Structures are given as structure tokens and as C-alpha cells.
Chains A and B, each alone.
Chain A
Amino acid sequence: MKKKKLDKVLLLAGAFLLWSSMAMAQFKVSGTVTDDGGDPLIGVTVLAKGTAVGTFTDFNGKYTINLPGESAELEFTYVGYATYTAMVDRSTVTMDVVMDDAATQLDEVVVTGLATSVKRTNLANSVASISSAELSGTVVPTTTDAALYGKAKGTNISANSGAPGGGIRMNLRGITSINGSSQPLFIVDGVFIDNSSVAAGLNIVSQAAGGGSQSNQDNPSNRLADLDPNDIENIEILKGASAAAIYGSRASGGVVIITTKRGRAGQTKVDVSQSIGFTTILNPLGVRDWTEERVANSSRFAGDVDLYNEAVASGTLQNYEELLYGNTGLLSNTRLSISGGSDKTQFYLGASFKDEEGIVENTGYEKTNIRLNLDHEIADWLTIAASTNYINSSADRGFFNNDNSGTTMGVAYSATPAWAQLLPDEDGNYPANPYAASNFLETAARITNNESIDRFLGGATATASLYTTDYTSVQLILRGGLDHYVLNTTAIFPNSVQFQRDGNGLNGVSVQGNTLNTNTNLSAFLVWSQYLNSGVSFRTQVGVTNETFDRNTILAEASDLIGSQTNVDQAGNRNTNQTRLIQEDKGFFVQEEVNLNDKLVLTAGIRGDKSSNNGDPNQLYFYPKASAAINIHEFDVLPEALSQLKLRAAYGESGNFATFGSKYTSFAPFIVGGNSALAINNVRGNENVGPERQSELEFGVDLGFSNNRFLFDATYYIKSVDDLLLNADVPTSTGFIRQVTNAAALQNKGIEIGLNANVVQSADFNWFARLSWWKNNATVTRLDVPSFTTGGFADFLGQYRIKEGESPTQIIGVGDPEMADDDGLVVFGDAEPDFQMSWYNSINFSNFSFTFLWHWKNGGENINLSTLLFDLNETTHDYDDIDLDPDGALGNGDYRLSQLGVNTEPYIEDAGYLRLREVGLYYTIPRSAFNDVCSVTVGVSGTNLLNFFDYNSYDPEVSNFGAGGLSSSVEVLPFPSSKRYNFHVRASF
């Protein structure tokens, strides 16, 4: 900010101070706040509406407040309880309050700004909010992102595979980038956390990036997986620029704000819980039903008739799907939390230990997570809140997905017929698989593909009330955050496995990766609230932010291993790679909110950002926002039954920085005959690269009936992204293949509808239901380069196509020339679902609670190349069924193969599903049964227990290429998804 502007601010500030010092007469009110059981509530916020006057209840639930003027409206707010309002005047001396813990969603406070929050009733955006109970109250989620499925409108969450340790992509209101990331920004207690996926360097064995495709297919997990969902109090999802503009250039994918649990003054609470469960493959496909005739007629196995007959005779026909994916994985989750504190200092300590096995032998996930959150009041005007989190985890993820060496377990399995004999002998020696490059049972037993993490997340916020009068409050908020982790990836392929021994492969491979990541964020905000007598209030915020990102990955590849050594120096060949990513961003923002008696709430603001990733690191990019919410119910004009009617509109802009490195044209180093060489890279730098720009306009209406027992909301949005960064193909005769350019625009339009109902409310039976429905449609509105296909392997195997006027996620292929468009391609589908719907239910009757969540994704197609690989190997489970060939002559396998290269349609399939995502039944044994020492809850739960889909593979939720860019929904023999069953015991002291 320029000095001149600051002067003006100071002058204005002086004028306000003068005005507000003309304070009036005061009166005093005091009282006690209790819950409906009569226990005092400690730390309840008591605020005189329309003023800056406020206090908290003390250790005994008591408060005293000095109020200006003749009368006031007191507002009592406490997390988890319904807000209580009471009119008081000079005649009131005591005001005791009983707060009701049946908080409806309307009363909650939503953290939307960098430094401030807004009551949901005054919010102009549709912000999804997910409570701790909904997030982790029913089942034991594998990861935090997996806990969000179907729980927020406007989100599209999809697992990349079923490998233990996670790997999930999340899009909010459609894709917002074609080559850049569409992933949202995750903020945990003010700390910007890293959610990247770092490849383990499996490509040296899988060769997946040969052939047509260059991208990473190592299937790494994303780092959000580290966070323990049980520590989370609340998640808020800002789905687009209209809500998230204040986060500027990092908000184009939306922002997910995670608030963790904090201690409360009062008696120390101790919670101990243990769950034990098991996991099995979600949808086993079965194997091809072989007969002697089928073996004889097969082109690959025709010479194997004798082998087949022998196996039948000796009863050694194997079901390799069961042998590979049939492990019943044990799940164990142990958790301890302690919270409490005094009126000055509160703490929350959470510790958990997770030990989960996968459905493939030797895969699994172990995680230890410790969190300590501290709040301390240094002085009555200065508080500090600190959050710390240490995570140690280890995931054994197996060896799956696409390859070009026939070695991944899935690809090798697909090539193996039932009469192959792959089981180890008595000494544990595995025979070579004559049908594939690897004996996948041996691979599962012998190889290592491990990701382990040591991570520390730390953040602190200091809030200083610099100036407080009855009508004015000026707060300074300083915040710092640090996300630091060391990720070790270990991939070991010993030289004893089939594809590394006897001159195959590289005679043993050990790839050890070490990633050191340090992100920091610092910010300072000044928040000035000013209340006028008329009930009008103003809130002004100014702030500055700074973020730095530094990631350093060193990948050491060793091959030609000496004996059974796995150290990277014990090898005939060694190779190291280092990749660094360094970025610094700076920004500022200014925001003004005007609240007219809660009737009309107006907000306007602007954010300015610059980044070292842009072509010009010191070019400021500006992102404005404005919104309005009208609470018609506050005007007292509505009929009794209509308890809420809010109309809202919001507009905002945000951006997405150019991806790191897009501006450089560089050389890559090599060794030629022992000499150092520099070879030009095939990516051409772009010195003019800038951020992608998003603007979003959102309208909505919120309705409440019968005292807000039934709530209805509907939102329509138009989200446009311009200057999209494209990895545009350049004529390769330039010597380059690609260049990142700002060369396209797209638009997402969508509708989100929600219905919350307290269907039954009675003393011992409560039923809460939430129905959500959402859809999104995207169109490419501008394309400065010719239309192109991307995201898959080849057009005839199905790819995405980016073409003006069409959906960016449409899937094309080759087909009937009469159906083909001017690109010579046929559109077979779109990865975007037609709509999604979820139905959450929570039913409480006496001491039982029963919760379930259904999730329906309608439509959306996948490119199913698993089936293709099975078909090519003539091992598909439905190879001999006849239900695809229009002539009814060919079996499905032969029919699909007959179409290969001619018609892509058989491999593009509907990936819609209906799923019972979560179901849980719990019984609480009351404290009285345990001499008031503790209460105990026991229960059972299940994840993905019921699944309905037509998709011809393990799970329609899949992505061979992980979470990056536009490449989801391509399947190549992934780690299959699983379902989970758990038994729970919890004691609360």
C-alpha cells in the first residue's frame, strides 16, 4: 500500500475515534448461562447487537456486561448451541439464559474471510459446512477427503484407486483448469497446507511413460491424506470465486477451510475409542469361465489345451482374482482425546493410531497423528491461539496402473489364464509366469512401494483488540503458519523377481525418493468494526499476506543391484534426479461490509496478488468481489409459517497462478560416454505467462419453514475461467513439443439445491434428513489453438477433447465415419456427471443412533482400458457372454476387440453409481451405568456396503493419471476399491 493512502486511512480513523468517544449513559446487566441440564456454560459470547460491547461467561457461567443507551438486544452464542437473543433495558438487572444444544444449521458462524466470520443467516454465498459429527461420526474414514464424499453440494470427489493411503481428487463446481490444477486450496487453522502428489519413480520399472503417454502414472497419494479427520471440528467449502475471491490467486479451485477441535474451559474431557474392522474388495469381477473349447478356439492359448485339461484334472485351475485381491484386510483405529482448560488457557490434545491392511497382500497404511491446540489469553485485549500437528505415516501401495513392461500386478494378472501355476513351492520359490512378464503373486510378496511421511503443521494466530469502545472495535490479527514434511518413497524390485532376474529388466531396482517440503504463510489484518445507533454496522478489513513454497525432491535410482542389497550405493548403476520448486507470492486485500440491521448485508472487497511463477513476478493482478444478502424475514412482512426468506447474490474473481516452471526454456543434463551433456528440453518457456482468471456470479434463495425446522436453499452459478493455461502443442518441427500459454476460456453453470428437515422431533425420537442435489455443465467458450485431444493414450482408445463450444470433459474416440464431426472423431460421453444427489439421515431413538448416507452419481463416462487389456489377453470375465454384439454373434470380448481401432464405444462406459457410502448404528450406555465415571458408546459401521453400477470393472471411481490436470476417469488396471466394516467402542470420561 502506498504511503499516501495510509495517511488517508489514519485521518479517517481519527474522525471515527472522535465521533465514537461521544459515548452515552450506560447500564449494567448480569446473569448466568446454563445448558438445559442446568450445567453452567463457560466461554459463551455475550454481545450487544449493534455495538462493539461484548463479554464472555466465566468459569461459573456468569457474565456481567455494561451496556450503552437505554436498551439493548443481547445475543448469546456458543458453538454447538442455538443462538439466544434477549431484549434488556435499564430495568433489567439479571438475565439468566438457558441455551439449547439442538443447534440448527442457520445459527452457525461461517469463516469466509481471511480474518473474519459471518453468521450463516447473513451470508450471500452458498457455503457448504460439514460438522465433525457428519465428517467422522458414522464411519472411520480412510482419509479426510474420503470423509467428504456426498456431504457437500457442488463437489465432485473421486478416488484415483483403492490403494491404501489415499489418492483422491476433488473439484468444486466443475473443472477450472485444463492443464493446471483444479484442486482447491486447503487451509487448516490458517495454515496453507500442501496437497501435492509426489511420484515414487516407479516408471523405471513400469515404463508407463513410454508409448503415447508422458505423465506420471505412479499413483501416489495426495498429502491431504495426512490429516486426521477425527481432529476436525468443522469444514467449510468455498466453492468458487464469489466466495473465495479474498484468497486471490490461489482460490480458483475453491477453498476448503478446515477448523480443528479446540479446548473449552471447564472440566477436562477424556475420550478413548477403538475400532476394529476388516476390508474386502468392493466389486470382484470374477474370471473368464474357461472350457476346453474356448481354450482351443483362443488365439493366444490354443496350444494350451493340454495344460488346461491337466489343471482341470488335478483341480489346480486357479482363481487369480481371489489370490491377488482376496486378502481380508484388518483395520484398527485407536484414538484418544483430552480437552479442557481454565478461563485463560484451554487445550485440546488428540492422538490417534491407525493400522489398516489392504486387499492385496503386503499393502496397508499406518499412521500416527498427534495434535495439540492451545488457546491463551495473555491480556484481556490479547489472545493467542496455536495449533500444532505431527503426523507419521507409512503406506504400502503395491504396484498397479498402466505399464509398458507387463510388470504391474494388474497388467500381469490380466495376461494370466486360470491354468497357469504361479503358487510358490514349499520353499517359497515362485515359478516364472509364462504368460506375462511377472508372476504377480511373487510381485505382491517381494516388492516394496512405500510412502512414508514425517510432517509437522504449526500455526498461531494472535488477536489484539487495539481499540475498543461501546461502538467501535479495532482488532489486529497476526497469523503465521508452517507446513513442513519429509516424504520418503521407497520402491524396491529385488533381482529375485521374475521381471528382474535372468537378464530380464534391470537386474533389480531400488528407487529411493526424498522430498523436503516447506511452505510458510504470514499475514496481518486490521479489522475495524463500527456500529451506529441506527443498527447499521460497518466492518472494514485490510490485510497483507505472504506465502512461500519450497519443495526439493531427490530421487535416487539404482539398478543392477548387488545380491539382495537395496541401498542405492550397492548397485551397478546409479542415477539421481533432483527437482526443486520455489515460489513466493505476496498479496494484500481490503474489504468493507455493511450490515443494515441484519436486513441487508453488503460486502465489497479487492485482492491484489503477485507471484514469482508469473512471467513478470512483480505484476500485480487484482481480484474484486461484491455481494448482497437481503433477509426479507427481518422486515416482518412474511406469514408465520415462513420463518426465513433470504435472497442473495455474489460476484467475485480469483485466479490460478501459472504452474511452476512454465516460463523457463531449459536444458536437461545427461551423461554421454561418461561426459556431461546438455540437451534442450522439449518444453518451450513462455516469458509472458500469467494466471488463469476466474469470475463467478452466484444467485440464491434460502427458505425456512415452521421455525426453520425445514430449510430449503437453491443456488445458481455461472463460473467463467479465462486465460486458461494450456500445455499447447506446438509444431514439433520447432524442436519443442509443448508450451504453456494462456489460450482458452471455459464456463461452468450449475444448480445446487438443498433440503434440511427435522422430520421428527420428539423427546426420544429425532430424525434429521438432508437431501442435496447438484449439477454442473461446462463449455469451452474460447480456444485460441486448434481443438486438441488430451488426457488419455490415443484417440482410438478414448481421450478428452478440448474444442470450442463443447464440454471440456467430453470423451471422444474413433467410430462410424458418418457419426464423426469435423475433427473426424465421435463423441461418446462426458466425464462430468449429469447430476449428483446425496441423502444423509441421522436418527436418534432413546440411546440408539442410526446414521446413513446414500450417494447417487448419475451419468458421467469413463474410459475403461482395464477391460481392453483383459480382452487383448482373452481373459475378461465376460469374454464369452453375448450381449454387446448387435448381431448377437460374437462374445463380448471378441466383439469389443473387433471394434478396436474402428469404434471406441465399447470401452467408454457409464460410470454412474448409487452407493450406500456410510451406515452406522450406535448405542450409548449412559453414565449412570458406570457410576457416572463415563459413558460408553458401542456401534457398528460400514463404508460402501451397497453399490449399484453398470460399469464393467472394480469401481467407476478411478484415475490412472492421478489428480493432476484433465485426466480423471481413465482406468488401467488400478488397485481395486474396497468396502469396509468396523466395530466401535468409545468411552467418554
Chain B
Amino acid sequence: MQLKNIKTYLLAMLFAAAGWTGCNIDEVPDPNNPSLAPILEDATVNELQALVFGVEQIARDEVGFYYDVTSIIGRDYWFFTSSDPRYTGELLGKDNAMLDNAGFYGTRPYSGRYRNVKQCNILIEAVTNSSADISDAERNGYYGFANTMKAYELLLVLNLQYQNGIRTDVADADNLGPFRSYDESLRDIADLLAEAYGQLGNAGDAFKFNLSGGFAGFDTPETFAQFTAAVQARVAIYQNSPTEALNHLDNSFLDLAGDLGTGPFRFYSTAGGEELNPVFRTPDQSEALVAHPDFVASLDPADARNAKIAERPSGALTFDGLTGTHDVVLWNSQSTPIPYITNEELVLIYAEANIGSDNTEAISALDVVRTGNGLASYGGADDDDAVTDEMLAQRRLSLFAQGHRWVDMRRYDRLDELTLDRPNDDVWIQLPRPVTENE
């Protein structure tokens, strides 16, 4: 090429380059993840299936914060860790420590649960908009599943927030519903469960989707509705409506003669891409879930529930002025499932709902739990107070480390009966509303 030609060529290139800025830059779709918008607009059955498993995923993710916080405040156990002083400081109200409205113990269990509420709302919207070949009955199946799971997650948030109340209508992120009072929130949750129960009743014989092994035995509209009814019963006793509770128990999987451990659960596995049980901690370490000494003391040596804790081979552990001798081994591996609700809890709800109207029936239900755990039958008084005490004692032992003790003592206005371990410790009534929730 002649040099002169090169000059012309170079000039031409420059003009070409100048024109080229005018060219458009292509929109880069998210290269890492599927985007929300196309799924909301028109999801395939496969995508809806992935969303359903997504609900199960979020339900098991971060739930450790819920169980740790409720169990620590409820004096079921302590968490000794040199990595974060708040577990033995703020959560136990050490000295002047106050709960922080930006602290992880309040914000993480809150955001983690609402994330699933969002996922359920996305599932509902995606099912509504989907042009895939899905019958009305099958759509009801999705709705019934989503609404049940949504109500369950809202109930966990409400347990933490208590009298702060919560938002129950959060479908539109730009226009969130108001904070409802505690009673209103409970009512909204009950209504949502009733809606779900109705939808499941009109959902045909089978779901259009599969559920993981965690819902084995609860994976048809009929059997899943038994789970919905079980949650309804839990809400009813929170609402102090024993009659309602008994009605819901009729529809649930309550089986006074059955395996106390029956119930749907969150699935954990050490396989790749799966979640590990977030509450499991290796026993006998310096970082430890240590059973509260008061809980240890309350266990009869014959009680099968002793298996939930284990004496530390290396001896007592002291941290931040607290000393314990037993580790919590309720979750004994990284793949131990965590139940949503068990037959054992339903039996105890049945007992509770009968107190005051049929104490004999209540005691015989409590005996199901007692004998089921290797204890003799109840031999105490049968007046309401005594049976209530026994019911709460059995709930403490049976539902240990699952976030019930604190809620139960609060329901019965007995938080002052929880043991304080250091002179200036406090028992909190509720978690502060997260700082980001401005009305």
C-alpha cells in the first residue's frame, strides 16, 4: 500500500470511528441470574416449579437466626462465641445493654422471613399471569401452598415483633401496607390461612408441582391442607381461641396415637448447592450452643428428651460470666431437618385447648407426650392452674430450642419466671422494629 493511501485510509477510519460512537450499546441482560420480570409476566410450568422449590429454599435459609434469638431470649440455650459478643450481651440484656434496632438479631430473622413472603407473592403473581396449560384447580393448588407458607413466615415475624405489630400486606414493594397491631396481624394471618385452606379444598387430587422430601406425606392438596390446619391451630391458641383451635386440629394431622415426630420439615443436606442446618454446632467446642442450666435441671433422668442435650466431655464451659455443662445436640448434624410443626406440638395444642373445658382430656393428651418420652403419667392436681403449669412444662421440654418457650411464657404473662443468670440481665418482651421499617 502506498503511504499516501494509508493516510487516506487512516482518515477514513477516524470518520468511521466518529460515526461509531453514535452506535447503540446493547442492553446487557443479567449474565449471572434469571431476571424477575419475564417470570412475572409469563412463567412456564418449569419456572413455577423452580419458584415452589425457591419457597422451600428461603424457608430453610437464615432460619437459624430465628431459632437462636428466640431460644436465647427464652433461656432455652446460650450461644458462646468469641466472634460476636451480642449473643451473650444484648440478647440477654447484660448490664445496661439494650437491643439495637439495627442489630442482626432483629433484622436478619425479619428480612429472612419477609424474603419468603416476597417469594410467595411472586409465585402467586406468576401463577396468575402464566399462560401455561394450568387448570383452575391446579392454580388453586399453587395459591394454597403459597398462602400457607406466607402465613407461616408472617407468624414467625410476628412472634419476634409481638406488640410492635407487622405489615401483613407487602405485595407491592412501592406501596407497602400499614403496620397492623398484634391482634390485627394475628387475624390477618388466620384469614390468610383460611383462604389457603379453602383454596386447597378446591385444588383437585394432586398438585401441578412437586415438593421436596421435607413435605413427604404432605404433598397433595388434601394432605398439605392438614399442615395448613395445623398452623391454623397454632394461631388459634395464640389468639386464645381454644374452640377454634380444636376445630382446626380436627382438620390437621393430629394423631394422639401416632408418632410424635410426624410433620413437614425443612430439608437440609451437605450435598452441593443445598443448605446446611444453620442451628447445628459441633459439640464440645469452645464456640458452643450451651443448654441453659435451668433447662438441664428441669429434665427427669428418665426423660427421653435428655437426648436433646449432651454433657460436655471437656467439662463446664464459662463465657462472659455464664457457665454451662451441656451442649445442645437437638440438631445433631449439618443435615438434620428442622420441622415446621410436629404432631407432638399438635398434641400439646390439643391439651392446651382442652384446659378449662375438659381437663381430663387435657391430661390424657399430656400423658401421650409424657409416656411417649419415657415418663410416668401425670400425677398432679387437675385444676386449671396445675394443668396449665404441666402443659407449659411439657411444651418447654418437647419444643425445646424451637422458639416456643419465650412465646409461651409471654402468652401466659410469665416472662418474669425465666431465670436470670447475671445480676443485671433482662428478659426482652419483643425485638425492636428494624430501623429500615419507616412508615
User: Which residue numbers of A lie inside 8 Å of B, CB to CB?
Assistant: 1-3, 6, 211-212, 299-300, 302-303, 379, 381-382, 402-406, 411, 414-415, 434-437, 464, 466, 476, 478, 503-506, 524, 526, 542, 544, 546, 557, 559-560, 572-576, 578-588, 608, 610-612, 617-618, 661, 664-682, 684-685, 729-737, 786, 788-789, 793-796, 868-869, 872-873, 900-902
The interface bits of chain B over 1-35 (1 if a CB of A lies within 8 angstroms of the residue's CB, else 0) are 00100110011011101111111111110111111
Interface pair A583/B212, CB less than 8 Å apart: no
Counting CB contacts under 8 A, is B357 at the interface? Answer: no
Question: How near does chain A come to B52, taking the closest CB pair, in angstroms?
Answer: 8
Contacts of A572 in B (CB 8 A): 270
Interface pair B286/A794, CB less than 8 Å apart: no
Report how far A796 CA is from B90 CA in the complex, Å: 10
Contacts of A611 in B (CB 8 A): 25
Question: How near does chain A come to B251, taking the closest CB pair, in angstroms?
Answer: 26
Q: Top 10 nearest A-B pairs by Cβ distance?
A: A735-B118, A673-B212, A677-B53, A671-B273, A732-B111, A666-B33, A575-B272, A901-B97, A734-B173, A679-B54
Contacts of A586 in B (CB 8 A): 20-21, 23, 25
Report how far A397 CA is from B112 CA in the complex, Å: 34
- The answer, among B25, B37, B210, for a CB contact under 8 Å with A610, is B25
Report how far A299 CA is from B320 CA in the complex, Å: 7
Contacts of B273 in A (CB 8 A): 575, 669-671
Interface pair A902/B95, CB less than 8 Å apart: yes
Interface pair B287/A437, CB less than 8 Å apart: yes
Interface pair B83/A464, CB less than 8 Å apart: no
Counting CB contacts under 8 A, is B57 at the interface? Answer: yes
Interface pair B170/A735, CB less than 8 Å apart: yes
Interface pair B28/A437, CB less than 8 Å apart: no
Report how far A404 CA is from B83 CA in the complex, Å: 5
Interface pair A735/B117, CB less than 8 Å apart: yes
Contacts of A575 in B (CB 8 A): 272-273
Known: A414-B82, A434-B286, A617-B28. 8 other contacts (CB 8 A): A6-B18, A402-B83, A406-B81, A611-B25, A618-B24, A667-B35, A672-B57, A735-B117
Residue pairs across A and B with Cβ atoms less than 8 A apart, 5 shown, are: A666-B36, A675-B49, A680-B115, A794-B86, A902-B95
Contacts of A434 in B (CB 8 A): 286, 314
Question: How near does chain B come to A783, taking the closest CB pair, in angstroms?
Answer: 14
Question: How near does chain A come to B208, taking the closest CB pair, in angstroms?
Answer: 15
Counting CB contacts under 8 A, is B296 at the interface? Answer: no
Report how far A588 CA is from B19 CA in the complex, Å: 10
- Size of interface on B: residues with Cβ below 8 Å to A: 99
Counting CB contacts under 8 A, is B379 at the interface? Answer: no
Within B126-143, the residues touching A (CB, 8 Å) are none
Question: How near does chain A come to B143, taking the closest CB pair, in angstroms?
Answer: 18
In the complex with contacts A476-B14, A573-B272, A734-B173, A679-B119 CB distance below 8 A: yes
Interface pair B31/A560, CB less than 8 Å apart: no
Report how far A299 CA is from B117 CA in the complex, Å: 44
Interface pair A673/B267, CB less than 8 Å apart: yes
Contacts of A544 in B (CB 8 A): 17-18, 20-21
Interface pair A680/B36, CB less than 8 Å apart: yes
Output the nearest chain A residue to B319 by Cβ-Cβ distance.
Answer: A300
Output the nearest chain A residue to B43 by Cβ-Cβ distance.
Answer: A678
Interface pair A211/B18, CB less than 8 Å apart: no
Counting CB contacts under 8 A, is B293 at the interface? Answer: no
Interface pair B33/A669, CB less than 8 Å apart: yes
Interface pair A732/B437, CB less than 8 Å apart: yes
Contacts of A666 in B (CB 8 A): 30, 32-36
Contacts of B77 in A (CB 8 A): none
Question: How near does chain A come to B175, taking the closest CB pair, in angstroms?
Answer: 10
Interface pair B438/A680, CB less than 8 Å apart: no
Interface pair A682/B111, CB less than 8 Å apart: yes
Report how far A524 CA is from B83 CA in the complex, Å: 54
Contacts of A560 in B (CB 8 A): 270
- The answer, among A578, A681, A732, for a CB contact under 8 Å with B110, is A732
Report how far A372 CA is from B21 CA in the complex, Å: 32
In the complex with contacts A666-B35, A672-B212, A900-B85, A733-B437 CB distance below 8 A: yes
The winner among B49, B167, B271 for most chain A CB atoms within 10 A is B271
Interface pair B14/A526, CB less than 8 Å apart: yes
Within B284-308, the residues touching A (CB, 8 Å) are 285-287
User: Which residue numbers of B lie inside 8 Å of A, CB to CB?
Assistant: 3, 6-7, 10-11, 13-15, 17-28, 30-37, 39, 47, 49-51, 53-54, 56-58, 60-61, 81-86, 89-90, 94-97, 100, 102-104, 107, 110-111, 114-119, 121-122, 166-167, 170, 173, 176, 210, 212-214, 267, 269-275, 282, 285-287, 314-315, 318-321, 434-438
Contacts of A302 in B (CB 8 A): 318
Question: How near does chain B come to A800, taking the closest CB pair, in angstroms?
Answer: 13
Contacts of A674 in B (CB 8 A): 212, 271
Report how far A693 CA is from B10 CA in the complex, Å: 35
Contacts of A506 in B (CB 8 A): 270
- The answer, among A524, A685, A737, A901, for a CB contact under 8 Å with B94, is A901
Output the nearest chain A residue to B210 by Cβ-Cβ distance.
Answer: A675
Report how far A583 CA is from B29 CA in the complex, Å: 11
Interface pair A731/B438, CB less than 8 Å apart: yes
Output the nearest chain A residue to B333 by Cβ-Cβ distance.
Answer: A503
Report how far A968 CA is from B328 CA in the complex, Å: 38
Report how far A632 CA is from B139 CA in the complex, Å: 82
Question: How near does chain A come to B43, taking the closest CB pair, in angstroms?
Answer: 10
- The answer, among B11, B104, B122, for a CB contact under 8 Å with A680, is B122
Interface pair B100/A796, CB less than 8 Å apart: yes
Contacts of A618 in B (CB 8 A): 24-25
The winner among B47, B57, B213 for most chain A CB atoms within 10 A is B57
Output the nearest chain B residue to A436 by Cβ-Cβ distance.
Answer: B286
Question: How near does chain B come to A20, taking the closest CB pair, in angstroms?
Answer: 18
Contacts of B104 in A (CB 8 A): 211-212, 794
Interface pair A667/B36, CB less than 8 Å apart: yes
Output the nearest chain A residue to B86 by Cβ-Cβ distance.
Answer: A794
Interface pair A504/B32, CB less than 8 Å apart: no
Interface pair A665/B272, CB less than 8 Å apart: no
Interface pair B10/A464, CB less than 8 Å apart: yes
Contacts of A869 in B (CB 8 A): 82
Report how far A677 CA is from B267 CA in the complex, Å: 13
In the complex with contacts A584-B25, A670-B57, A733-B167, A504-B13 CB distance below 8 A: no
Interface pair B107/A732, CB less than 8 Å apart: yes
Interface pair B214/A673, CB less than 8 Å apart: yes
Report how far A682 CA is from B176 CA in the complex, Å: 16
Output the nearest chain A residue to B170 by Cβ-Cβ distance.
Answer: A733
Interface pair B114/A672, CB less than 8 Å apart: no
Interface pair B22/A612, CB less than 8 Å apart: no
Question: How near does chain A come to B174, taking the closest CB pair, in angstroms?
Answer: 9
Interface pair A212/B103, CB less than 8 Å apart: yes
Output the nearest chain B residue to A616 by Cβ-Cβ distance.
Answer: B27
Output the nearest chain B residue to A578 by Cβ-Cβ distance.
Answer: B32
Report how far A436 CA is from B288 CA in the complex, Å: 11
Contacts of B286 in A (CB 8 A): 406, 415, 434-437
Contacts of A672 in B (CB 8 A): 53-54, 56-57, 60, 212, 267, 274
The winner among B95, B121, B166, B274 for most chain A CB atoms within 10 A is B274
Interface pair A678/B54, CB less than 8 Å apart: yes
Interface pair A542/B18, CB less than 8 Å apart: yes
Report how far A405 CA is from B276 CA in the complex, Å: 15
Interface pair B118/A734, CB less than 8 Å apart: yes
Contacts of B119 in A (CB 8 A): 679-680, 735
- The answer, among B36, B285, B435, for a CB contact under 8 Å with A504, is B285
- The answer, among A300, A405, A546, for a CB contact under 8 Å with B83, is A405
Interface pair B282/A504, CB less than 8 Å apart: yes
In the complex with contacts A212-B104, A679-B58, A617-B26 CB distance below 8 A: yes
Interface pair B39/A667, CB less than 8 Å apart: yes
In the complex with contacts A572-B270, A901-B97, A678-B318 CB distance below 8 A: no
Contacts of A464 in B (CB 8 A): 6-7, 10
Interface pair B32/A546, CB less than 8 Å apart: no
Question: How near does chain A come to B434, taking the closest CB pair, in angstroms?
Answer: 6
Question: How near does chain B come to A45, taking the closest CB pair, in angstroms?
Answer: 23
Contacts of A733 in B (CB 8 A): 110, 114, 117, 166-167, 170, 176, 437
